[in-house]
Amino acid sequence: MGFLAYDLALLVLFLAFLTYFLFRNRHNLRRQGIVLLYHAKWGIKFFDEVVKRYRKILIPAKYVSIAIGYVLMAIIVWAFARSTWLYLNFPVTQIIKAPPLMPLIPYFPRLFGLESFFPPLYFTYFLVALLIVMIAHEGSHGIFARLEGFKIKSTGFLFLGPIIGAFVEPDEKRMSKAPKLKQMSVLSAGVFANVLVGALFFLVMAAFFTTAFQPAGVKFFDYSSAVLNLSQVKEVRNASVDGYLELVTENQSYFVKKEMFELAKDKVEIVLAYTDTPAFRSQLRGAILSIDGKPTPNLDALREALSSHKPGDKVKILTAVSENARDSEAKEKEYTLTLAERDGKAFLGIATLNRGANGVIGWLYEQTFARVRNPNIYYTSLLGSFGWFVHYLLWWVVVINLLVAIFNMLPFPALDGGRFFYLTALGLAKDNEKIANAVFKLVSAAIIFMAILMMLKWFIGVAF
């Protein structure tokens, strides 16, 4: 349990404080639909001071903010449509059991079986990230509202059960009558701030990681494999590895899971099979730390260690096996195996992650997160568990800021992107409100339709 026990205690204390706060201030709460609003005047003078001091910077920044708003809107619409297409065309639920649409809550990787995809999201991480996101997002709305001359009526918190948020309430009537660009600069200001804060914390995370961590081993994604046409198979027999069949051709043996073989045999007659390699036969797992005592902190060191051996050599390989893909919880394990031969050289039979950029998202990942922490490298912390704690905290601050920025620009009512999109449609329709409303309703309906499709496909996949 360790830190988790303290984290759960903090969660209980926070919920108790939240209950006390709501009870004590119950007469100052206002209901708006299913949400409770607590109004205050926090930060309004600060907004005025920022505008007074940095007006020359903020005026050009508002145009950058609007441009970023359009970029984020394009990303979230593309991601929504792409996710819907994937759920309709591939058995996504066989890999990911979590629902496609769900709130970001503490411990969600553990609750939804996503620990192999995400680091732990402790309540401590969530609370710190949430405070940073709210201050940046709503503070920026307030600053740009004052920049555009809109009065701020109040600031405060909103509550939906145990879910807490923040708000800045400008003079909506005056704002709705203002020029479109003024409204759009205020609407996009929150996500603009989240992008800037995310970028800032990314630099902090990068500096911390390169200082507090060192490469210690090579991760591999899978064993060597090949596409096999089942017409080439001469014999099928049980393999020495549990759950696999050995498919024998004229020249070589291949290995495939029994259920995959049955599926391929009945439908497509081709299958992606593992080749007969030392790594597969020994079921090598974890990041490779050393070969015969020679450290392998990177791919070049691994290649050098293998090149110093000949085919047929028996070697000892030390690995770090990470439970749920968490390098912070890895345990060492030793394997003894005999190297095979390929092209006259010693061959182990592992496949590292393909680092090629796939589309815009892939390129962005390669230029940012992958440059800080190479996905093919296993790292150790020079600060022990504290180093991992800080790294994951910074990681979640970056990711949650970016997620909030992207999601908020979805062209849907109640989100910043909703009004932002409507104003865009209104401008393109030359201020014809009837056309703008029709376009906005059509897009909103399309988003609802895609969400329903994804959730239905997820439910059917999980339930049946």
33 — pLDDT class (breaks 50, 70, 90): confident
Q: Is the dihedral of CA 263, 269, 272, 277 positive or negative?
A: positive
Residue with the larger pLDDT of the pair 104 and 450: 450
Q: What residues does each domain of the chain span?
A: 3-213+384-463, 225-276
CA–CA distance, 455 with 447 (Å, rounded to integer): 12
Looking at residues 417-435, what average pLDDT do you find?
A: 97
Cα separation, 269 vs 443, in Å, equals: 42
In the beta sheet, which residues pair with residue 163? 160
- Residue-wise pLDDT tens digits, 78-124: 999 999 999 998 888 877 888 899 888 999 998 888 888 889 999 99
- pLDDT category, 324, cuts 50, 70, 90? low
Q: What mean pLDDT value characterizes the chain?
A: 92
CA 423 – CA 181 distance, rounded (Å) = 9
Residue predicted with more confidence, 362 or 341: 341
CA–CA separation, 143 vs 136, rounded Å? Answer: 10
pLDDT band at 34 (very low <50, low <70, confident <90, very high): confident
Instruction: Please give the pLDDT value at position 189.
Output: 98
Torsion of CA 139, 144, 147, 151, to 10 degrees: -70
More confident residue, 140 or 232: 140
Query: In which band, very low, low, confident or very high, does the pLDDT at 325 lie, cut at 50, 70 and 90?
Result: low
Residue 126's region, left for phi above 0, alpha for psi from -120 to 50, else beta, is: alpha
Task: Give me the pLDDT at residue 355, please.
Answer: 56
Tokens 């303290």 — which residue?
Answer: 6
- Grade residue 178 by pLDDT with cuts at 50, 70 and 90: very high
Least confident of 45-49, 91-95, 281-285, 314-318: 91-95
What separation in angstroms does the CA of 15 have from each of 7, 162, 163? 12, 7, 10
DSSP 139-164: HHHHHHHHHTTPPEEEEEEEEETTEE
Write the burial class of residue 255 (CB in 10 Å: 0-12 exposed, 13-18 middle, 19+ buried).
buried
